[in-house]
Amino acid sequence: MRITGLGHAGMFIETLGGNIICDPVVGPSFFGSWFPFPDNRGLDWERLGREADFLYISHRHRDHFDPKLLQRFIRRDIEVLLPEYPIDDLEQDIRALGYTNITYAPAGEVIERGELKIMITPLRAPSDGPIGDSSLSVDDGTASILNQNDSHPLDLERLLSFGKPDAYFTQTSGAIWWPMVYDLPQDAKQNFARLKRDAQNKRAMYYVEKVDAPVVFPMAGPPMFLRDELFQYNGYGQNDDSIFTDQKQFITHMNELAPQYDGRLFVPGTVVTLENRELVSIEQTLYTQDEIDSIFDDKWTYLEAQRASRQQEIRDEVAERAEPLPAGEILAALKAWWEPLLKKSRTIRLGVGGCVRFRIGDLDMVVDFPKAKVREYAGEECIYWYTLPADLVSTNIRDHEIDWSNSIFLSMQFSVGRSGKFNEFLTTFLKCLSVDRIEYVENWYSEQTDQTEDAQVGDWVVQRRCPHLRADLTKTGKVDEDGVLTCSMHDWKWDLKTGKCLTTTGHEIRAEHCPVTEDALRLDA
């Protein structure tokens, strides 16, 4: 088996049963903000498209799904392997490009194509990517790999039932806009950025140790920001206020904590050969070793060169945007679009629990979640306040973009402030701007209310399933001496003495301190 790095989360897997091209992206994505790091344009995309037998798209995020690249290089009759998601947005996107040979992979079931065995593990919670994310397991008899991509699977036993992988490919640098775009003092931004990087490293190490593959390849990030106003947020940021750990930095971190794992760079053009369940070789076919060293060790010089040479791509993206609509037309369009969705969103409205302000060009608008209304701002107190470019909003209105996290927010071309903690319900609403998505999410939240099973974590009895995404807290939870429970999946925290979530609004947990028993007293004596 041979695996070639295509940049970001992309890979080309050559097996005895056919070749799989996974998440090929050149970009830029998210309104021209994200470019793959390092540059992957030098790959032979025509050959890759010609020789691919299967196309796997893990999820709908635009740094994984690049319609222009697919239309240019991937033939329309290829077999497309899609995760089994509860809503068909990704399938609709694929079919709109002319692809009809689509295979839905039932969750956790093995698909066989000759010598090739494939398993796709989908995630379906509102917080998973754009309402869905997935990982890919591949075995052709000579080797087995896990392409976890940037999914965060909860049921690792089911995932690893496919077999222990000989090589493991996983995200270590998440795609998020916190805290860079927030209205915060600089020292607070720096502190929150460090905490976010630490949490991402902790989560990545959790999976590395659970998967326990001998060779680990960090991938699926970080991006390059080449727009002038975003350039400072590359890597850890020019002012130490950004969150993007690169591949080499994570390998150094992993070597310090878990030297038993062999961490290797996986960049565009890296070719990994596995045979007889072992790593045989790693070659660099696009960059020399000196070039790779320079990219990572003299990163800002490399980024400056990329910025200087790729401004035309940014100008081309701007030219594709809609003309900014007048304020009154934006308000009318969003009112007609969002109010029917708000009326269907009882759980989300209660979870948001207040007004959210949007300043869009000359428009000053409020979304009143408790009353399910969209109207002009009238001076009321708001829990969040956004400032969004009118051309981006106008483009989303023109395209009826149903996921604003997959467009405006990941573009980082906006600013936001909030009073209080992160509100997951608000973020969920803004990426569920369709009837199908809203109805699915409302049903999903309703199903989560039944969390009757309890379990012991440390000296506490808590509900077994995490209130966030239902991870098994006996496996992912840890309680400190102050009675604060941390779920390692996403670093969410609860004060078990009160049941209150310390990370976001809502999501209380059921907990009580273990009662003192006669057996415990005898042990203490």
Q: pLDDT tens digit string along 73-98?
A: 999 999 999 999 989 999 999 999 99
Distances (CA, A) of 340 to 168, 306, 363, 364, 434: 44, 44, 21, 21, 10
For 204, list phi and psi in degrees, rounded to 5.
-60, -40
Q: What is the pLDDT of residue 521?
A: 34
How many angstroms separate the CA atoms of 485 and 481, rounded? 10
**C-beta separation of 226 from 302 below 8 A:** no
Rg (CA), the chain: 23
Q: Would you state the structure tokens that stand for residue 1, as one six-digit string? A: 């088996």
Q: What is the pLDDT of residue 130?
A: 75
Q: What is the pLDDT of residue 296?
A: 98
How many angstroms separate the CA atoms of 171 and 168, rounded? 10
- Long-range interactions of 187-192: CB distance < 8 A, separation 24+: 189/241, 190/239, 190/240, 190/241
pTM of the complete model: 0.87
Residues of the chain with pLDDT under 50: 516-525
Torsion sign over Cα 216, 146, 197, 61? positive
pLDDT tens for each residue of 410-424: 999 999 999 988 999
* Three-state DSSP string of 216-263: EEEECCCEEECCCCCHHHCCCCCCCCCCCCCHHHHHHHHHHHCCCCEE
Domains and CATH numbers, the chain: 2-314 (3.60.15.10), 327-445 (3.30.1050.10), 451-524 (2.102.10.10)
Q: Which residues touch 27 (CB under 8 Å, ≥6 apart)?
A: 34, 35, 36, 62, 63, 66
At 179, which helix (H) or strand (E)? Answer: none
User: How far from chain centre, in Å, is Cα 422?
Assistant: 17
Cis peptide preceding 179, ω within 30 of 0: yes
The structure tokens 């940037």 sit at 150
Q: What is the pLDDT of residue 504?
A: 79
Pairing verdict, β 79-83 and 102-105: parallel
Q: Would you state the structure tokens that stand for residue 435, as one six-digit string? A: 């009837």
Residue 167 pairs in a beta bridge with 145, 215
At residue 276, the 3 state secondary structure works out as coil
Torsion sign over Cα 513, 517, 523, 525? positive
**C-beta separation of 268 from 43 below 8 A:** yes
**C-beta separation of 509 from 496 below 8 A:** yes
Q: Would you state the structure tokens that stand for residue 271, as one six-digit string? A: 């070719």
| Residue 170 DSSP symbol | E
Q: Nearest CA to 476 among 258, 12, 152?
A: 152
